[in-house]
Amino acid sequence: GAVVSQHPSWVICKSGTSVKIECRSLDFQATTMFWYRQFPKQSLMLMATSNEGSKATYEQGVEKDKFLINHASLTLSTLTVTSAHPEDSSFYICSAQPTTDTQYFGPGTRLTVL
Amino acid sequence: SQQGEEDPQALSIQEGENATMNCSYKTSINNLQWYRQNSGRGLVHLILIRSNEREKHSGRLRVTLDTSKKSSSLLITASRAADTASYFCATDGSGGYNKLIFGAGTRLAVHP
C-alpha cells in the first residue's frame, strides 16, 4: 500500500514551453501533497505544500507564477513549470501524506529543458 | 534552507561490514525520519523516530536520536551490495503540515 505515482517519469522540452507533471496517490487519499526539487548529487529542497481545495503554500524563493500547483482532488496534484528554461532542468519529486506522519514519495520526474 | 548536515558525505565499505551515517539538525523537532534513494529514483521511507524515543530498530537498521545534541545516527548492519544508495535524514519543520527538511545525504557504496 501507500503508492505514489508520477507522470511523466522524464520529459524533454524546448525553452519557453510549459510542462505539467502529475502526482497521484494510488491507494490512499492525501489531503496534503508536497513538491520537491533535487539537483544532481544534492538533497531535496521543498518547493511547495499543496492542500486539496486550497492554494499551495510556496517556500521562500520559489516563484509561484513559475511553478503552478493545482491540487484538484484528494489523489491528484499537478505541478506546471511555465515558460521553462534550461535552469529549470532538475529532478522533481512529489510526496503524499495520509493521516499519518509519514510522507510517501513518488518516483520522480526528470525534466530537461533544451 | 536545509535543516541539517549529514556525515560522512560518502561512505564506501565491503559487504558484511556495518555502515553508520550521522545527521545533525538545528531546531526542535517532533520526529526524525530516514529515507533511502537509489540513483535517479524516488525516496523510500526507512524508519521514523519520535522526539521522545532514543533508539529504534527495523530489521538490519538501527536508528538513534539524541535531542540534546540534535543528532541522529543510522546504522545498517551486515551490509549488502543492494544497500548501495543515498540515505537522507529528514526532520519535520514548524507549522501544521509536517514539512520535511532534508539533510545533505550520505552516498553509501557497498562493494561485493
A3-59 tens-digit pLDDT: 999 999 999 999 999 999 999 999 999 888 999 999 888 899 999 998 888 889 999
Among B2, B31, B44, the residue with its CB nearest the CB of A43 is B2
Q: What angle do CA B44, B45, B50 make, to 5 degrees?
A: 165
Find the CB nearest B48 among A93, A101, A110. Answer: A101
Q: How far is CA A21 from CA A8, A44, A51, A91, B90, in A?
A: 6, 17, 16, 11, 24
Distance of alpha carbon A70 from alpha carbon A22, whole angstroms? 10
C-alpha B49/C-alpha A91 separation (Å) is 27
Q: Testing the interface with A: which of B100, B101, B106, B108 to mutate, by most A Cβ within 10 A? A: B100
pLDDT average, residue stretch B79-91 = 95
Interface contact flag, A46 B99, Cβ < 8 Å:
yes
Please give the pLDDT value at position B94: 52
Interface check A49 vs B, CB under 8 A:
yes
- Cα–Cα distance, B112 to B109 (Å, whole number): 10
For residue A40, what pLDDT is reported? 86
Task: Read off the pLDDT of each residue in B7-17 and give the average, rounded to a whole number.
Answer: 93
What are the φ and ψ backbone dihedral angles of A24, each rounded to 5 degrees? -125, 135
Report the pLDDT averaged over residues A86-114.
Answer: 91
- pLDDT score of B1: 42
Read off the pLDDT of residues A68-93 as tens digits, 9 standing for 90 and up. Answer: 999 888 999 999 999 999 999 999 99
